[in-house]
Amino acid sequence: MPLGLEGVSERFIVHGGARLEGVVRVDGAKNSVLKLMAACLLAEGETTLTNCPEIGDVPLMRDVLEGLGCTVTIDGSTVTVNTPKEVNFRADFQAVRQFRASVCVLGPLTSRCHRAMVALPGGDAIGSRPLDMHQSGLEKLGATTRIEHGCVVAEAEKLHGAQIKLDFPSVGATENILTAAVLAEGTTTLYNAAREPEISDICAMLNSMGARISGIGTSTLTIEGVDKLHSTVHEVVGDRIVAGTWAYAAAMTRGDVTVGGISPQHLHLVLQKLKMVGASVETYDKGFRVRQEGRPKGVDYQTLPFPGFPTDMQPMAVGLAAISEGNSIITENVFEARFRFVDEMMRLGADATIDGHHVLIRGVDRLSSTPVWASDIRAGAGLVLAGLVADGDTEVNDVYHIDRGYPRFVENLNSLGADVRRVVD
């Protein structure tokens, strides 16, 4: 945890030079489980989620839900949410401030309680992520919304179906509109909806609760409102970003890693880029294998909503490009502040030039160790991967970020042949 919150500071010491080899399995997706937990607010009774990742954000979401009146039990990879008949509509600042995903309770609370007061959330320092589209979507469904005393407030005597088109396929806005529309009167059609696998996952869970959502996996979702939902049991979809991290670690260390627990279709472009750098990629029903012989080749990337290259994989792309042969241009189209991570990569010896939302990287043979600081979950993972291909020992600080998104990160790396130590001060 960050120094100042718990009085404890932790860092990783990464010994460079390891070649990663072996098998690793990914757990459920961070970007899905938190939203599924929030969706449990929609139905009275006990809902069980399996294949949950054991990460720092799951207990944080438990705190949010318990503040709303739920009882939440975490038992390894199983999370059970018991939702009462009457739910509190206020998500307080203390619980919400620590992570961005907490805003996903806005839709369920507006739908179930007809009012919601959710403190504006905190989270990773990767750029502004306003709630305009969340509010606009709820307003089209019949709610009134406002920002008041540091909270987003939504109120509605009754929600009704609507035709809604998003200006951008925002994952968060899609989720909040979905969870509000499932109990609205009439039919809602959501155009330019996000298509991420995590959206399909929440749609599948909602349908298992009695919702009527069609068009799953496409940019147009149709939601026929129902009177009531019921509790369910649901398995969380595999984490494509964690899987992609192991894939890029294999390529960076010229290794041979097999990743299980994930559909390769959720990483089609990510794996395609690895083929372009010279890696051998084999795909299976629920996994893939990445082998890299020789120095990778530089390729260009641009982040886009799914099925484009994920913004969450951008730090790993930067790390790979930094030690590849030739030049790479990486364009960030989603979060404007994500390139602050590049400054830390340059401390490790990466040859990079930032120009607006582009970064030009000229590959070098090897990085050089130095202390660096993680600014968000994926930046932290990217810095650890960079440490694997640096000379000497790289010290990665503020690793509580990594713990929020990667279960057993050090243990998994070391099982593949890395030498990474967690140091607690």
Domain residue spans of the chain: 10-26+238-424, 30-235
- The answer to whether domain 10-26+238-424 and domain 30-235 are alike in fold is yes
Torsional sign, CA 179, 180, 184, 190: negative
CB 421 within 8 A of CB 396: no
Q: Of the candidates 27, 148, 160, 37, which has an alpha carbon nearest to the alpha carbon of residue 99?
A: 37
Under the banding of pLDDT at 50, 70 and 90, the label for residue 338 is confident
- Residues 345-396 have pLDDT tens digits of 999 999 999 998 999 999 999 999 999 999 999 999 999 999 999 999 999 9
Residue 134 has pLDDT above 80, yes or no: yes
- Read off the tokens for 320: 């790979």
> What span, in angstroms and rounded, lies between the C-alpha atoms of 221 and 226?
15
> What span, in angstroms and rounded, lies between the C-alpha atoms of 238 and 29?
5
Under the banding of pLDDT at 50, 70 and 90, the label for residue 82 is very high
Is 201 noted as a catalytic residue in this protein?
A: no
Q: CA separation (Å) from 117 to 92, 140, 163, 348, 386?
A: 8, 18, 25, 44, 41
Amino acid 382: pLDDT: 97
Q: Which residue has the higher pLDDT, 245 or 123?
A: 245
Q: Of the candidates 306, 309, 239, which has an alpha carbon nearest to the alpha carbon of residue 274?
A: 309
Fold held by 10-26+238-424 = UDP-n-acetylglucosamine1-carboxyvinyl-transferase; Chain (3.65.10)
Residue 50 has pLDDT above 60, yes or no: yes
> What span, in angstroms and rounded, lies between the C-alpha atoms of 403 and 57?
8
**Per-chain mean pLDDT for the chain:** 93
- Residues 277-318 have pLDDT tens digits of 999 999 999 999 999 999 999 999 999 999 999 999 999 999
Active-site residue among 27, 57, 124, 403?
124
Q: Which residues pair with 160 in a beta bridge?
A: 185
Amino acid 121: pLDDT: 66
CB count within 10 Å of CB 192 equals 19
Under the banding of pLDDT at 50, 70 and 90, the label for residue 4 is very low
How far from the centroid of its chain's Cα atoms is residue 131's Cα?
17
Residue 2 has pLDDT above 50, yes or no: no
Residue 159 DSSP one-character state: -
The beta strands (E) that lie in 156-310 are given as 163-165, 187-191, 212-214, 220-224, 233-235, 256-260, 280-284, 287-291, 301-302
62 is in an annotated binding site: no
42: helix, strand or coil = helix
Kindly state the helix (H) or strand (E) to which residue 140 belongs, with its residue range: helix 132-140
- Percent of the chain predicted with pLDDT > 70: 94
257 is in an annotated binding site: no
- Residues 137-163 have pLDDT tens digits of 999 999 999 998 888 999 999 999 999
Residue 302 — φ and ψ, nearest 5°?
A: -140, 130
226 is in an annotated binding site: no
Look at domain 30-235 and name its CATH class. Answer: alpha beta
140 is in an annotated binding site: no
